[in-house]
Chain A
Amino acid sequence: MSIALVLEQLLNGVQLGVMLFTMASGLTLVFGVMGLINLSHGSLYMMGAFICAYVAGITGSFWVGLLAGALGAGVMGAIIELVVIRRLYDRDHLDQVLATFALILIFSEGTSWIFGASPLWLDMPDLLGGSVSLPGGVTYPLYRLMIILVGILIAIGLYLLISRTRIGMRIRAGENDREMIGALGVNISALYTFVFAVGAVLAGLAGSLLGVLQSVQVGMGEPMLILAFVVIVIGGIGSIKGALVGALLVGVVDTMGRIFLPSLFSLILDNADATSVGSALASMLIYLLMAVVLAVKPKGLFPANA
């Protein structure tokens, strides 16, 4: 097991982590500020990818597609907030789960109605094809490196938005006491729509960026959504900092587990058994991590309203 392999897997883990953070930050903000469980966040991720693939196909430029994917998902997020989500804030969580689950079905069926059931393909921009050599003997795909960079920029941007701007101040106030900030004359519905749209833009951005590496297909959002929920439960629901730490933790643990658990088991079992036992355990690893975190800290690592 060489140092280069460990380093490369660490980068892979961070890359998965920053994308999970991009998904989870929107989810956790919406929950923290509006108290809403939004299952349709994965659909916004999917919409971003589809819009990006469609626009990139027409214009021939990935970058135009990326912009369209992020903004398109944002517009869509604003629309569903205005039309559907807005009516759910005062309901209990079960109603919210039901309604946003219905949104998943509507988005999935609608998408396969418009784009067909077969996956779409997004080509990597030529500029970012290939790999670069990094210190430590690692060669790493340039595109994934760019994803890590974008993820870091998003984390910094969100930090600045929330801690340094007037709107961020309102978001923090909303997290602490929703009724009070309404009473102080802040336009709470505009704030909610804005927060929801920001979450949607980030989800759409993540979908567009990952669509290049994978296939753009109906149902691609749900596996990401489940991981994002694991992330915010580990990090503490409602906390951006928690989402960042949780996402990196989940990304690194998942990636490392997939590779190193089978090798670990091969020390005590024969090769074929080690591979199957190791892979099976690796796919459970993040849930075990979540169970351990919750056993030690029932409200997650960084509870928002501690």
Chain B
Amino acid sequence: MKRFVSAGVLALMAATSMTAVSALAETKVGMITTLSGGGSHLGIDVRDGFMLAIEQSKSDVEVIIRDDARKPELAKSLANEMLQKEKVDILTGIIWSNLAMAVIPEVVRDGTIYLSPNAGPSALAGKLCNENYFNVAWQNNNLHEAMGAYMKKEGLKAPFIIAPNYPAGVDALTGFKSYYGDVEGELFTKLGQTDYAAEIAQIKASKADSVFFFLPGGMGISFMKQYGGAEVGLPVFGPAFSFDEVILGAVGDAAIGVKNTSQWAHDMDNAANVAFVKSFKEKYGRTPTLYASQGFDTANLMLSALAKAAPSDAEAFRAALKAAEFESVRGAFKFGSNNHPIQNIYIREVVAGADGKPTNKLAGIAIENLQDAYASECKM
């Protein structure tokens, strides 16, 4: 029996190494991401991280990139275009969960592989999970769960929590509360809102002792600038999305000392990450954000699977993705039963960097081997 298996494995390896070259050459990848407007730096970093990995692999996978401008209807028509006209084998790139919900369920039901480099709405991890959908970033709740646990441990008594009113915002506050418990106050804002005067006034009037906010992209910058001007004086906490390197660059010293949670940090000490951060800085002249690391990991996961099987052999390709045999820049990485990562979530602190500008520094671990709360609802 054992001989049979090993012979089978050998035969498979021989077969896959032969198909590998052709699989790489013929594969077409469609990337729909946000490259303009207030959410653009997220998509730009995902794209740049992804393309860096493709370039380093020297593979000739064809990547078609389109800008969705954070508009669900545009993302949907782009997805149709990619599938019908361009006939892509793999889709990836969507940043925002409301766009993800508009595009992904239909696409994966019809048999296309989707690799998520960012959005991880709870529905896709639970009831709507699909064997063709792989999340390479996190389930939406994860970083917020970790911050809820951290703030509870740090003895903060009455946090005020804020998120935009869209699937990821709802997941964020659900995740936070599931690990923290009851909060002093919570607010949903409009997605893409630019003025937070009303919310900040309410924070000031409440009895809160701290503020937790999930406001990615330009929203986080607007909030932090206005929060500083209003002299509220309460400490702020958030997921890495509220304190990425671009936001820190715009907010400046006001963010120094702030703690945030992330599955990755640019000063993480593993060989893959050191090489990634160095080559990213060389190529693009800026420090990568977590979005860039997710784009890089997504591409490397895809390349690792393409080396084993062609997307046309769906069964084998899915198995190769699920095995996740690639060097993730975040260290250990594996998929749970619902194709979402099981991974460590870390605490980062904003400090003054070598050049005097604020930057994130790894400060410890918040939760080890965190798996999302929806895996049990997934029947796959």
Do A and B come from the same complex? yes
- A residues with a Cβ closer than 8 A to B are 1-2, 4-5, 8-9, 12, 15-16, 112, 117-119, 121, 124, 129-131, 139, 141-144, 210, 212-215, 217-220, 223, 255, 258-259, 262, 271-272, 275-276, 279-280, 283
Cα(A218)–Cα(B40), bound, Å: 10
B188 touches A276 (CB 8 A): yes
B36 touches A112 (CB 8 A): yes
Least CB separation from B189: chain A residue: A279
B202 touches A259 (CB 8 A): yes
Cα(A171)–Cα(B225), bound, Å: 40
B229 touches A214 (CB 8 A): no
Residues on the B chain within 8 Å of A276, using CB: 165, 170, 188
- Residue among B35, B69, B205 facing the most chain A CB atoms (10 A cut-off): B205
A215 touches B194 (CB 8 A): yes
Measured CB to CB, the closest approach of chain A to B42, in angstroms, equals 11
Contacts A275-B187, A276-B165; is A218 near B37 (CB within 8 Å)?
yes
Contacts A119-B38, A255-B197; is A213 near B187 (CB within 8 Å)?
no
Q: Is B221 an interface residue (CB 8 A)?
A: yes
What is the interface residue range for chain B against chain A? 35 or more
B221 touches A280 (CB 8 A): no
Judged by DSSP, the binding face of A is helix
Residues on the B chain within 8 Å of A4, using CB: 205
Measured CB to CB, the closest approach of chain A to B203, in angstroms, equals 10
Residues on the A chain within 8 Å of B231, using CB: 130-131, 139, 141
Q: B1-45 toward A: CB 8 Å interface, digit per residue (1/0)?
A: 000000000000000000000000000000000011110110010
Residues on the B chain within 8 Å of A130, using CB: 229, 231
Contacts A124-B225, A215-B221; is A272 near B186 (CB within 8 Å)?
yes
Q: Is B198 an interface residue (CB 8 A)?
A: yes
- Residue among A12, A16, A130, A255 facing the most chain B CB atoms (10 A cut-off): A12
A16 touches B186 (CB 8 A): no
Residues on the A chain within 8 Å of B199, using CB: 258-259
Residues on the A chain within 8 Å of B93, using CB: none
A219 touches B230 (CB 8 A): no
Measured CB to CB, the closest approach of chain A to B174, in angstroms, equals 8
A129 touches B165 (CB 8 A): no
A217 touches B221 (CB 8 A): no
From A118, A124, A258, A275, contact of B44 by CB (8 A): A118
Enumerate 27 A-B pairs (CB-CB under 8 Å) in ascending A order. A2-B205, A5-B202, A5-B205, A9-B201, A16-B195, A117-B44, A118-B40, A119-B38, A124-B225, A129-B229, A130-B231, A131-B230, A141-B229, A144-B197, A212-B225, A213-B222, A213-B229, A214-B195, A214-B218, A215-B194, A217-B37, A218-B36, A259-B198, A262-B188, A271-B186, A272-B186, A280-B165
Which residues of chain B in 199-246 are interfacial with respect to chain A, using CB atoms and an 8 Å cutoff? 199, 201-202, 204-205, 218, 221-222, 225-226, 229-231, 246
A213 touches B195 (CB 8 A): yes
From A139, A215, A275, contact of B186 by CB (8 A): A275
Residues on the B chain within 8 Å of A143, using CB: 229
Residues on the A chain within 8 Å of B268, using CB: none
Measured CB to CB, the closest approach of chain A to B96, in angstroms, equals 15
Measured CB to CB, the closest approach of chain B to A103, in angstroms, equals 18
Residues on the B chain within 8 Å of A8, using CB: 201, 204-205
From B35, B36, B173, B201, contact of A12 by CB (8 A): B201
A262 touches B194 (CB 8 A): no
Cα(A112)–Cα(B197), bound, Å: 28
Q: Is B258 an interface residue (CB 8 A)?
A: no
Cα(A175)–Cα(B188), bound, Å: 43
- Residue among A12, A118, A255, A283 facing the most chain B CB atoms (10 A cut-off): A118
- Residue among B44, B198, B205 facing the most chain A CB atoms (10 A cut-off): B198
Cα(A8)–Cα(B113), bound, Å: 51
Q: Is B250 an interface residue (CB 8 A)?
A: yes
Residues on the A chain within 8 Å of B36, using CB: 112, 117, 218-219
From B173, B186, B190, contact of A283 by CB (8 A): B190
Contacts A215-B221, A255-B198, A276-B188; is A117 near B37 (CB within 8 Å)?
yes
Residues on the A chain within 8 Å of B195, using CB: 16, 210, 213-214
Residues on the B chain within 8 Å of A220, using CB: 194
Cα(A223)–Cα(B170), bound, Å: 23
Residues on the A chain within 8 Å of B218, using CB: 119, 214-215, 217
From A9, A121, A283, contact of B198 by CB (8 A): A9
Cα(A141)–Cα(B211), bound, Å: 19
Least CB separation from B205: chain A residue: A5
B222 touches A214 (CB 8 A): yes
Residues on the A chain within 8 Å of B246, using CB: 118
Residues on the A chain within 8 Å of B44, using CB: 117-118
Cα(A220)–Cα(B37), bound, Å: 8
B229 touches A215 (CB 8 A): no
Cα(A272)–Cα(B174), bound, Å: 9
Residues on the A chain within 8 Å of B69, using CB: 219
From A9, A121, A213, A223, contact of B226 by CB (8 A): A213
Contacts A2-B205, A12-B198, A255-B198; is A215 near B190 (CB within 8 Å)?
no
Known contacts A139-B231, A279-B190; 4 additional CB pairs below 8 A are A12-B201, A219-B69, A279-B165, A280-B165
Measured CB to CB, the closest approach of chain A to B348, in angstroms, equals 22
